[in-house]
């Protein structure tokens, strides 16, 4: 990892910088004055009650047009991407796992993976499909009739082929049974390069979690609480989790 | 013995009275514009077709090497230029031009102009009065063949009217797959293709009929098709139109006469440029426990206008089941789709008929989903489009399936 190299005033260790970000959805203000950064290889966990704006934040970072940036900037790998579209951001190295992805009829998962993998070998595709128990889903239409766990695994499989440098993962454990949680946890850890020794394969991530189960599998570096559209506190993700488990988000209200 | 002169004269007399009779649907075409008569010489092999013609044949799904075909029939303009049946299948299936069959078999009277009437409109009349071949295919009782038989109706010159009459007879318990490609090798030609098709599926027989239409901007097409399915018989009709056409209008009718007879239409239409497309399917339920399904996927682009019709008509007092599923995507602001499903029950109090029709835009959610995987907006749209048109058609030979998918992909990319 390159550390603290100065270039145009931006630390090269910093992969993502969000400055003074204000976001509205369909005319309603959702996020207010968000400021934070993610370093290369860093995993951040985003906590917060329902409706706090967690999904809005990662959808905005990915560039979905429904999420309107009213003010502020997003810098990714030293490039101002505030006005780039989803596709350009993906090409630059961002990737996202959807909570509820749409069905794409007539397009097989295999076909999509080949396009997403862009030149990666069929062996790699089959290897990951097997690891994620999705071999029998490859010739089915994307997400068509997939169960909660299958959807999550298919999202992970796509990301494993896409290999983004910064990954947004929205509640990997929701709607998933225990057996699947282990598999999804382990494969997420693999995607983020945390089970490998070589340093340079490490990816950065922002992970949204309600339950915190995923923390048993990935070694997250820091945590944030998003409350009422504002980023409230930053700290050790396990500490934040145990605080939430003890007191819920009540104390966030007093913090405001 | 040929079909009796008396019968032929009856047909022609009926036709003469309908020479100026417009069709119910579609623009009225002045047939006098298309008077040229062009005869062509025979060829020894499909690979010896002139380059342009070969390319057109390939694009219409013809396998020029004939490796996986039991036989081939190719007509260019007004001549049968190639006709060959693999020796292995002699005595199992018959293949000739309908003009020849009319000369050869007096019994053809029972099948010739029986379910399509010569006085239906000016187009049927024209074919009855000036027939220029078409294919006659008969598969003998109980025969089931490993590969499809292919036919190709091609037009290579302007200002002609190709008046074909096709007859297919599937005898009891036999099974046949026919692949037909209709195409133009001279893509700027104006002209008209008139095709009468009368298909008969006897007790327990099965016919899988796949048709690829590759026309062009100045060309008119008016097919007239009817199919009779007897007891336990099956008819499957796969149809793809993925190239521009000046105008096409066709409304094939299937009569499910026998008990447990079934029919299925799979239709894929891509409206391009100024195409005027009026296509549909009509299934008439007459037997007990008959079953019919019609699936259509249409996309309208540029200035195209598409009518997608579907009629289910129950006439039996016993149970029957029919389903229509027609979906459309409007691609361009200057195009139009009319989805017209129609369910009719004539006192058929046990009939179960349903339809689902929808017209909508390309889903933004799907486009953005694919864009987040690194595809551009155009790439995402083209993938969704080809997926939408990708009907999983049962019984379709892999090669044809692959071919249709490739053409769909090409078309959806080109039209971006």
Q: Which of B372, B388, B405 to mutate to test the interface with A (most CBs of A within 10 A)?
A: B372
Q: Answer whether A145 touches B (CB < 8 Å).
A: no
Phi-psi map region of B407: left, alpha, beta (phi>0 left; psi -120 to 50 alpha): alpha
Report the pLDDT value the prediction gives residue A197, as an integer from 0 to 100: 66
- Once rounded to an integer, what is the mean pLDDT over residues B319-335? 95
Report the pLDDT value the prediction gives residue A118, as an integer from 0 to 100: 84
User: B227-286: per-residue pLDDT in tens?
Assistant: 999 999 999 999 999 899 999 999 999 999 999 999 999 999 999 999 999 999 999 999
Q: Give the closest of B371, B373, B379 to A162, CB-based.
A: B373
Q: What percent of chain A has pLDDT over 90?
A: 70
Distance from CA of A234 to the nearest CA of B (A): 28
Q: Are strands B247-250 and B219-229 parallel, antiparallel or unpaired?
A: parallel
CB-based contact B384 A64, cutoff 8 Å: no
Q: Is the pLDDT of residue A2 over 50?
A: no
Tokens 């029709």 sit at which residue? B357
Q: Is the pLDDT of residue A222 over 60?
A: yes
User: B359-377: per-residue pLDDT in tens?
Assistant: 998 999 999 999 999 999 9
User: A167-176: per-residue pLDDT in tens?
Assistant: 999 988 888 8
| Interatomic CA distance for residues B246 and B234, integer angstroms | 33
Model pTM greater than 0.80?
yes
Tell me the sheet residues that pair with B12.
Answer: none
Q: Are strands B206-214 and B175-184 parallel, antiparallel or unpaired?
A: parallel
A/B interface, count of CB pairs below 8 Å = 66
Report the pLDDT value the prediction gives residue A256, as an integer from 0 to 100: 56
CB-based contact A87 B386, cutoff 8 Å: no
Q: Is the dihedral of CA B118, B120, B126, B131 positive or negative?
A: negative
Q: Give the closest of A91, A98, A105 to B369, CB-based.
A: A98
- Once rounded to an integer, what is the mean pLDDT over residues A147-159? 94
Q: Answer whether B375 touches A (CB < 8 Å).
A: yes
CB-based contact A107 B389, cutoff 8 Å: no
Distance from CA of B410 to the nearest CA of A (A): 15
| Interatomic CA distance for residues A32 and B319, integer angstroms | 63
Helices (H) and strands (E) in chain A, counts: 8, 14
| Interatomic CA distance for residues A202 and A196, integer angstroms | 8
Ramachandran angles phi, psi of B36, nearest 5°: -65, 140
Which chain A residues are within 8 Å of B384, Cβ to Cβ?
A: 104, 107
CB-based contact A104 B365, cutoff 8 Å: no
Which chain A residues are within 8 Å of B366, Cβ to Cβ?
A: 102, 104
User: B45-95: per-residue pLDDT in tens?
Assistant: 999 999 999 999 988 889 999 988 999 999 999 999 999 999 999 999 999
CB-based contact B390 A91, cutoff 8 Å: no
Q: Would you say how long chain B is, in residues?
A: 416
Phi-psi map region of A4: left, alpha, beta (phi>0 left; psi -120 to 50 alpha): left
Q: Are strands B206-214 and B247-250 parallel, antiparallel or unpaired?
A: unpaired
Report the pLDDT value the prediction gives residue A6, as an integer from 0 to 100: 41
Burial of B256 (0-12, 13-18, 19+ CB in 10 A): buried
Burial of B135 (0-12, 13-18, 19+ CB in 10 A): buried
Q: Are strands B191-201 and B219-229 parallel, antiparallel or unpaired?
A: parallel
Tokens 């008119």 sit at which residue? B220
Report the pLDDT value the prediction gives residue B118, as an integer from 0 to 100: 98
Q: Answer whether A102 touches B (CB < 8 Å).
A: yes
Q: Answer whether B384 touches A (CB < 8 Å).
A: yes
Is residue B157 within 8 A of residue B188, CB to CB? The reply is no
DSSP conformation letters of A2-51:
--S-EETTEETTEEEEEEEEEEEETTEEEEEEEEEEEETT-EEEEE--TT
CB-based contact B387 A104, cutoff 8 Å: yes
What mean pLDDT value characterizes chain B? 94
Q: Give the closest of A95, A102, A116 to B366, CB-based.
A: A102
User: A100-119: per-residue pLDDT in tens?
Assistant: 999 999 999 999 999 999 87
């Amino acid at each position: 990892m390159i550390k603290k190299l100065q270039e145009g005033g931006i630390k090269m260790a910093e992969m993502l910088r969000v400055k003074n970000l204000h976001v509205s959805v369909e005319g309603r203000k959702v996020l207010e004055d968000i400021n934070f950064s993610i370093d290369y290889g860093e995993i951040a966990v985003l906590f917060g009650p329902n409706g706090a704006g967690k999904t809005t934040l990662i959808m905005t970072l990915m560039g979905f047009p429904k999420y309107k940036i009213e003010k502020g900037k997003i810098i990714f790998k030293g490039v101002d991407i505030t006005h780039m579209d989803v596709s350009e951001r993906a090409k630059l190295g961002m990737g996202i796992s959807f909570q509820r992805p749409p069905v794409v009829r007539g397009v097989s998962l295999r076909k999509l993976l080949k396009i997403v993998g862009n030149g990666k070998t069929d062996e790699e595709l089959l290897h990951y499909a097997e690891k994620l128990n999705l071999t029998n889903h490859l010739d089915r239409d994307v997400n068509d009739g997939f169960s909660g766990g299958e959807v999550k695994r298919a999202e992970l499989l796509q990301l494993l082929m896409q290999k983004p440098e910064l990954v947004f993962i929205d509640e990997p454990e929701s709607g998933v049974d225990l057996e699947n949680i282990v598999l999804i946890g382990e494969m997420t850890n693999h995607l983020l390069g945390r089970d490998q020794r070589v340093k340079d394969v490490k990816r950065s991530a922002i992970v949204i979690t309600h339950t915190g189960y995923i923390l048993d599998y990935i070694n997250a570096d820091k945590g944030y609480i998003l409350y009422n559209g504002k980023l409230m506190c930053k700290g050790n993700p396990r500490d934040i989790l145990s605080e939430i488990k003890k007191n819920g988000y009540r104390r966030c209200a007093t913090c405001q | 013995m040929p079909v009796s002169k008396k019968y032929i004269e009856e047909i022609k007399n009926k036709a003469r009275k309908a020479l100026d009779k417009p069709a119910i649907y579609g623009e009225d075409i002045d047939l006098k514009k298309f008077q040229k008569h062009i005869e062509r010489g025979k060829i020894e092999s499909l690979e010896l077709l002139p380059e342009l013609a070969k390319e057109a044949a390939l694009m219409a799904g013809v396998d020029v090497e004939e490796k996986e075909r039991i036989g081939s029939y190719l007509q260019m303009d007004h001549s049968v230029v190639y006709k060959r049946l693999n020796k292995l299948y002699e005595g199992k299936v018959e293949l000739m031009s309908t003009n020849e069959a009319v000369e050869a078999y007096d019994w053809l009277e029972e099948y010739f102009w029986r379910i399509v009437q010569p006085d239906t409109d000016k187009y049927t009349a024209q074919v009855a009065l000036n027939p220029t071949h078409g294919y006659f295919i008969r598969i003998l009782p109980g025969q089931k063949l490993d590969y499809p038989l292919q036919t190709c109706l091609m037009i290579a010159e302007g200002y002609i009217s190709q008046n074909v009459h096709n007859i297919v007879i599937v005898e009891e318990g036999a099974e046949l797959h026919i692949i037909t490609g209709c195409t133009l090798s001279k893509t700027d030609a104006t002209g008209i293709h008139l095709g009468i098709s009368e298909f008969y599926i006897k007790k327990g027989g099965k016919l899988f009929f796949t048709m690829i239409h590759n026309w062009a901007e100045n060309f008119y097409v008016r097919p007239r098709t009817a199919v009779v399915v007897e007891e336990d018989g099956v008819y499957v009709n796969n149809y793809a139109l993925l190239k521009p056409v000046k105008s096409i209008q066709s409304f094939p009718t299937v009569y499910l006469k026998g008990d447990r007879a079934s029919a299925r239409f799979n239709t894929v239409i891509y409206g391009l440029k100024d195409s005027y497309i009026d296509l549909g399917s009509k299934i008439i339920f007459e037997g007990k426990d008959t079953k019919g399904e019609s699936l259509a996927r249409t996309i309208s682009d540029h200035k195209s206008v598409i009518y997608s019709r579907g009629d289910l008509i129950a006439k039996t007092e016993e149970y029957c089941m029919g389903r229509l599923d027609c979906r459309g995507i409007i691609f361009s602001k200057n195009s139009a789709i009319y989805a017209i499903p129609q369910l009719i029950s004539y006192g058929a109090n046990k009939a179960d008929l349903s339809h689902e029709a929808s017209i909508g835009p390309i889903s933004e959610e799907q486009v953005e989903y694919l864009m987040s995987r690194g595809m551009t907006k155009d790439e995402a749209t083209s993938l969704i489009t080809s997926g939408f048109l990708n009907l999983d058609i049962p019984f379709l030979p892999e090669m044809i399936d692959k071919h249709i998918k490739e053409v769909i992909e090409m078309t959806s990319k080109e039209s971006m």
